[in-house]
């Protein structure tokens, strides 16, 4: 059996390609087909290197990606009535944590929302930042912190804000046994890893 694959590009962020359904098991196991003989099969692969003619994008990846961490202590949570609150800046790309005390989008009215934002001022022209990040609300009673993460996100104008409008339900946040809101204060942590720079111009 021979299957022609598409042209694929291997790079540091994508080191493997494949075909999820190469052949169905019924056909593969049919003794009349000859694919499986004496419980043994033989696979072959042919790889052709195609000269790269694409010049539109250049990606620079960090061998040892720097990570920036930030802790934000949010006091008097019950008095937060605005739609959004912002932390101080941190890190070299002017990151901020955005807090939506009553949720946003699909979480509006029943959740707390959190997102990571960059003002974009330090992003080079014709470039996109590739980062991985996680946002966390600390459990200060049981130590069972709640976090969500994105393995990869591209930040560039105007796409400078990524996160979750329904990060955690308000019922869970306000449950005193959970430890997320203690003395009307919650502690939010952010961790941002700069993976590389995508040059588009």
Question: Over the stretch 19-58, which tens digit does the pLDDT of each residue have?
Answer: 777 788 888 788 777 888 888 888 777 776 655 544 445 6
Predicted pLDDT at 57: 54
Structure tokens at 26: 């019924």
Task: Please confirm whether the linkage preceding 139 is cis (ω < 30° from 0).
Answer: no
Predicted pLDDT at 53: 47
Is the pLDDT at 62 greater than 80? The verdict is no
Residue that is written with structure tokens 């290197």 in the block: 49
The dihedral over CA atoms of 105, 106, 112, 118, expressed in degrees to the nearest 10, equals: -40
Question: Over the stretch 136-147, which tens digit does the pLDDT of each residue have?
Answer: 999 999 999 999
Produce one character per residue of 165-185: b if its CB has 16 or more CB atoms within 10 Å, e if not: bbbbebeebeeeebbbbeeee
Residues 6 or more apart in contact with residue 150 via CB below 8 angstroms: 132, 133, 134, 162
CA dist 199 and 132 (Å) reads 18
**Would you place residue 73 in the very low, low, confident or very high pLDDT band (cuts 50, 70, 90)?**
very high
| First-residue to last-residue Cα distance in the chain | 43
Predicted pLDDT at 23: 82
3-state helix, strand, coil in the chain (%, to 5): 10, 40, 50
Percent of the chain with pLDDT over 90: 57
Is the pLDDT at 5 greater than 80? The verdict is no
Question: Over the stretch 108-165, which tens digit does the pLDDT of each residue have?
Answer: 999 999 999 999 888 888 889 999 999 999 999 999 999 999 999 999 999 999 999 9
Residue that is written with structure tokens 């019924």 in the block: 26
Predicted pLDDT at 6: 61
Classify 127 as helix, strand or coil. strand
Predicted pLDDT at 50: 57
Q: Which is it for the CA torsion 101, 104, 106, 108, positive or negative? A: positive
- Cβ pair 190, 116 in contact under 8 A: yes
Predicted pLDDT at 46: 72
Distance of CA 120 to the CA centre of its chain: 18
Predicted pLDDT at 54: 46
């Amino acid at each position: 059996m021979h299957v022609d694959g598409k042209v694929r590009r291997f790079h540091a962020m994508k080191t493997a390609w494949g075909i999820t359904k190469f052949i169905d098991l019924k056909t593969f196991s049919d003794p009349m087909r000859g694919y499986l003989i004496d419980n043994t099969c033989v696979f072959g692969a042919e790889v052709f290197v195609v000269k790269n003619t694409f010049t539109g994008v250049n990606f620079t990846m960090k061998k040892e990606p720097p990570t920036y961490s930030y802790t934000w202590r949010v006091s008097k949570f019950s008095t937060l009535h605005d739609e959004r609150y912002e932390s101080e800046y941190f890190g070299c790309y002017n990151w901020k944590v955005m807090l939506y005390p009553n949720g946003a989008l699909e979480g509006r009215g029943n959740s707390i929302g959190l997102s990571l934002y960059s003002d974009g001022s330090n992003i080079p022209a014709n470039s996109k930042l590739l980062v991985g990040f996680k946002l966390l609300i600390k459990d200060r009673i049981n130590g069972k912190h709640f976090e969500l993460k994105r393995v990869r996100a591209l930040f560039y104008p105007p796409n400078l804000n990524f996160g979750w409008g329904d990060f955690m339900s308000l019922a869970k946040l306000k449950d005193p046994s959970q430890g997320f809101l203690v003395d009307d204060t919650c502690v939010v942590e952010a961790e941002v890893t700069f993976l590389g720079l995508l040059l588009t111009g």
